[in-house]
Amino acid sequence: MEVFVTAPRLRREPQVFPDGSAVRDVLTRFVQLQGVCSEDFYVIRNGRVEDVEDPVQHGAVYNLQPRLCGGKGGFGSMLRALGAQIEKTTNREACRDLSGRRLRDVNHEKEMADWLKKQAEREAEKEQRRLERLKRKLSEPKHQFTDPEYQQQCHDLFERLEDSVLKGEGAGSGCSPRVRHQRNVLLPCVEPMFPKRLTTGVDELLSSEDDDEESSSSCGAVTMTTHRKQTEPEQSSRSRSDPHRSDVSSNVYLNDS
């Protein structure tokens, strides 16, 4: 019978085996050609490992695969432990539903619909809070200021203040007439002197000097008149007691003028 044998170092060529041959015969021929150990290979047919005692099928394809050295194992348990440490998310908003829409948009629409349904309730609650706040403002205050000690202190303070004002008025009304007369005396009105103009003309200098003399004489006359008015009451009182002295004082004033 004729079969096809494939191997890593062997081309795919038909091999002829006598009837009644087993898979062991196929493996033995390959080992003899390659010079390797039969324990290092296993035979596969149609994706399944063939037993060495199974009979050879006519026209079948046998694939000889080398065996690999295995490790100590334990890698699966390591993967399981690592997977348990990875945080599992519950956020599925980026996923899509059967219609192709993202779950984020679908959830947002649901929340918006619920918010619109409760809009009337929120407005009613807001109006109720406003009415309650207005009622609290319009209601009478609950504070009661009934402190007798504080009220007595205020009353005493008011009485002391009133007494002080009355005493001050009495002291002001009892002052001497001379002091009141001195307070009521007005200062003499003196005409303001205009500043001199800075010029180089001789005529202007002379006119300014004349003006200064006139202003000084007028000021002296005003001062003399004021002084005379102030001293007239005193002289009149003195003349009553001493008439000769009053004549002398009048002569002095006449000479001064």
Q: What is the mean pLDDT of residues 156-160?
A: 92
- With beta carbons less than 8 A apart as the criterion, state whether 248 and 235 touch: no
CATH of the domain spanning 2-66: 3.10.20.90
Cα separation values, 69 from 40, 47, 66, 73, 117, Å: 10, 20, 10, 12, 69
Residue with tokens 């001064």: 256
The per-residue pLDDT for range 121-150, each reduced to its tens digit, is 999 999 999 999 999 888 877 766 678 888
Q: CA 19, 22, 23 angle in degrees (round to 5)?
A: 135
Burial of 56 from C-beta contacts in 10 A (0-12 / 13-18 / 19+):
buried
Between these two residues, 95 and 5, which has the higher pLDDT value? 95
pTM of the predicted model as reported, rounded to 2 decimal places: 0.28
Q: Which amino acid is at 221?
A: A
pLDDT recorded at residue 211:
57
Q: Does residue 21 have a pLDDT over 50?
A: yes
Sheet holding 61-66, edge to edge: 10-16, 2-7, 61-66, 41-45, 48-49
